[in-house]
């Protein structure tokens, strides 16, 4: 009879110890959940769904081998990668009104035209959009360039820039 009581006592100590051990992290977890919900609210208010813009700029003065020279061929090329992340549990529409390429030193606008784009991000969706820009005149200036993206979420207008890159010739 004494052995059963001792085993029961040890089992109760183990259960009580694991309840106490779990109580501290549970309180800590509640604190983290509370601060995470504050962070989520802040992200919602910021509406910064575009996380990163990356630019690849190139100029192809000569046509590829085997292609005859055409003066109407596009020689200025830009690929703008736009990384989008929706941390919300509801769909969000992002309207990209313009994508521009600027010289880094003087801010001069390069001669590229972009199309208006509207993207609907599903709940918790991550996506990457590529905007291809071309022109027939190439790049002007000899410095580095950056992409500037203007977008709208609900009634707020924002801009985000890529890092400056050298034009690949």
End-to-end CA distance of the chain: 90
Taking the C-alpha atoms of residue 166 and residue 44, their distance in angstroms, rounded to an integer, is 35
**Beta-carbon neighbour count of residue 114 at 10 Å?**
19
Per-residue pLDDT reduced to its tens digit, 3-46: 555 555 555 555 445 444 444 344 444 433 333 333 332 233 44
Q: What percent of the chain has pLDDT over 70?
A: 72
**b/e for 21-42, b at 16 or more Cβ within 10 A?**
eeeeeeeeeeeeeeeeeeeeee
Token output for 90: 């509801």
Task: Give the model's confidence band at 49: pLDDT under 50 very low, under 70 low, under 90 confident, else very high.
Answer: confident
């Amino acid at each position: 009879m004494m052995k059963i009581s001792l085993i029961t006592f040890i089992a109760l100590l183990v259960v009580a110890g694991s309840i106490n051990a779990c109580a501290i992290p549970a309180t800590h977890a509640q604190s983290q959940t509370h601060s995470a919900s504050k962070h989520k609210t802040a992200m919602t208010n910021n509406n910064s769904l575009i996380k990163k813009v990356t630019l690849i700029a190139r100029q192809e003065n000569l046509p590829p081998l085997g292609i005859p020279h055409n003066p109407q061929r596009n020689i200025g090329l830009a690929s703008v990668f736009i990384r989008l992340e929706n941390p919300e549990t509801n769909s969000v529409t992002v309207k990209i009104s313009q994508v521009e390429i600027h010289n880094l030193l003087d801010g001069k606008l390069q001669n590229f035209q972009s199309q208006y784009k509207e993207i609907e991000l599903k709940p918790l969706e991550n996506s990457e959009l590529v905007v291809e820009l071309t022109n027939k005149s190439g790049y002007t200036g000899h410095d580095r360039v950056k992409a500037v993206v203007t977008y709208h979420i609900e009634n707020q207008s924002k801009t985000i820039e890529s890092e400056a890159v050298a034009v690949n010739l």
